[in-house]
Amino acid sequence: MCIRDRASALGVTAAQVEDALYTAYGQRQVSTIYAPNDEFWVVMELEDQYQKDPTALSLLYVRSSTGTLVPLNAVASLTTSLGPLSVNHLGQLPAVTVSFNLKPGKQIGEAVSAVNDLGRSLPASITMQFQGNAQAFESSLTGLGILLLIAILVIYLVLGILYESFIHPLTILSGLPSAAFGALLSLQVCGYGLDLYGFVGVIMLIGIVKKNAIMMVDFAIAREREGNTTAAEAVYQGCLVRFRPIMMTTMAALMGTLPIALGTGSGANSRRALGVAVCGGLIFSQLVTLYLTPVFYTYMDTFQSWLERRFGRIAGIRKPHLADGPVSAD
């Protein structure tokens, strides 16, 4: 027969056992003594010699529901085990703090990911929450994806106002997926995570890669306005004429961030993700942009012409005809 069944048979509940233990070892107030100028609480407790002796628990009796006294050792057993001296709480819940340090050459983002993977194997009744530097790291990453989308949206609006078109800004932004893929691939190959520095590198890539497409698209639009030149011919000439400035600005940005990617010294490991993301994204996008952007420009120009024929000039800039005379690229 288990202890609970034995206690139930004797008419003793767990609440009665807890009440008896609190009376013996707690701070139960049983009366109040009133003096002329003060009052004193009367607290019931065991004598010191019994409080220090664990075997004295067998001398305690619990009054059952029938009114009889039942020895405590008849409904409970005393065992010795290890336990915490104090129980910490966080948000009114018992909490245990587990600290960790980073290995040499490791980043806090990798440690946070590893701890999150371990946390998924915990029971559902246990929740996990970061504190200290790990919490600050997670807070810094919150909303960065939305910030990136807002940056792209602002660039699209500015380019749309500049070119008076809803279509050509998409052509300029068409090189961003290849740059982002190159940045993420380079971070993966080099063993770095997408931390705060990596996000800064991706945002830098948006401006650098966008600049390359602006050079080509701006030249192609100006060449189309000057005369009877098809979109394919205009963007092809833009690639040839703008190739050298594109390579010059790309190499300048690449050489500027390469020392960060290869840097050594105190704190260089944390900033290295920025240089790796920018260098990898620039190299990959430069190999792809000169081929993808002209093709995308040709299709978008055809799509814009279809929109103009169907809905009027709302889709973009009206292309001049030969009868209109020469139009300045400015």
- pLDDT, one tens digit per residue, over 141-194 is 677 778 888 888 888 888 888 877 788 888 888 888 888 888 888 888 887 777
Residue 254, pLDDT > 70, answer yes
What pLDDT shows up at residue 105?
64
Over residues 37-66, the mean pLDDT reads: 82
Please compute, for residue 224, the number of CA atoms within 13 A of its CA located in the half-sphere on the CB side. Answer: 22
Beta strands at 93-94 and 89-90: parallel, antiparallel or unpaired: antiparallel
Helices (DSSP H) in the chain: which residue ranges?
Answer: 3-10, 14-25, 48-51, 72-75, 108-119, 133-141, 144-163, 168-172, 176-190, 196-226, 231-261, 268-311
pLDDT bin (cut points 50, 70, 90) of residue 74 is confident
Residue 190 and residue 104: Cα distance in Å, rounded? 16
The predicted-structure confidence for 295-318, as pLDDT tens digits, reads as follows 888 888 888 778 777 776 544 444
**Mean model confidence pLDDT for the chain:** 79
Structure tokens at 196: 């705060």
Residue 131, pLDDT > 70, answer yes
Q: For 143-324, which CATH class?
A: mainly alpha
Structure tokens at 117: 């993977």
What pLDDT shows up at residue 1?
56
CATH of region 3-75, choose from 3.40.50.2300, 3.30.70.20, 3.30.2090.10, 3.40.190.10: 3.30.2090.10
| Exposure string for 157-184, b = 16+ CB within 10 A, e = fewer | eebbeebebebbbbbbbbbbebbbebbb
pLDDT bin (cut points 50, 70, 90) of residue 231 is confident
Domain boundaries, the chain: 3-75, 89-137, 143-324
